[in-house]
Amino acid sequence: MSHTSTAQTSSVEEKVHVVRWPLEASKLEQHRRTGALRLLVIENGGTPPVSTDVREDWVRSPITREDFAARISALRARAASHDVPVLDHDGLLRYGSRVVPVSPTETYLLRPLVQRFGSLVARHELLTLLSTRGSTASRNALDLHVMRIRRRVLPLGLRVRTASRRGYLLEGG
C-alpha cells in the first residue's frame, strides 16, 4: 500500500499525519511538537521508537488498506478519550481538531494551565509569570488577562475555572 503524508476521512475528524520511519524522523519531531496525531509506518524491518503518547501509534509495512484504516480509527478514538490541549511555540492553542491563536502574554500564562490541564494553578504563580513579562502584575491585570483567555479558549470547547482566591484551572467544556 502506498502512503500519503496525511490521512483524513472527514473534515470533522482530526488529521492523522503518516510518517515513514526512520526515513522521516525529522517530520515526526515536528508533529510531536505541535501535538498532531501521528501514525508511523515502520519500513524495512526498522525498530519503532518507544512512545507513551496516546497521539502516536505505529504499524509495520506492508499493511492492508483495511488494517491501515482500522489503526487510524483506533488512534483517533484513543486520542479523543485523552484529549488535552496543546500550546505550541508559535502561539497556537490546539484542542481536538480546533486551533486558536493567542498573544505572547496569553501564551505565557496559558503554558502552566495547559501543562496541568484539569489541575489548579496557583494565582500567585500566574502573577509571578506576569511580572517576569514586564507587565503590570496586579490582581486586576491578571483578572483582565484571564478574562481574555476565557474568551479565547471558549470556541475550542475549553474553559478556565476560578478556585476562589487560590487560582485557576483549564478544563474541557
Statement: residue 107 has pLDDT above 60: yes
Q: What is the mean pLDDT of residues 84-88?
A: 88
**Average pLDDT of 13-22?**
91
User: What is the model's pLDDT at position 35?
Assistant: 76
The domains found in the chain, sorted by start residue, are 6-81 (no CATH), 86-172 (1.10.10.10)
Q: Which residue has the cell 502573577?
A: 127
Residue 16 has pLDDT above 90, yes or no: yes
pTM for the predicted model, two decimal places: 0.57
3-state secondary structure of 8: coil
Instruction: Write the DSSP string, 94-115.
Output: EETTEEEE--HHHHHHHHHHHH
Q: Which of 71-75, 123-127, 137-141, 156-160 has the lowest mean pLDDT?
A: 137-141
Work out the pLDDT band at 135, boundaries 50, 70, 90: low
By DSSP bridging, strand 86-87 and strand 56-60 are: unpaired
Judge whether residue 10 has pLDDT over 90. no
Task: Give the Å distances, CA to CA, from 29 to 32, 35, 38, 80, 123.
Answer: 5, 10, 10, 21, 33
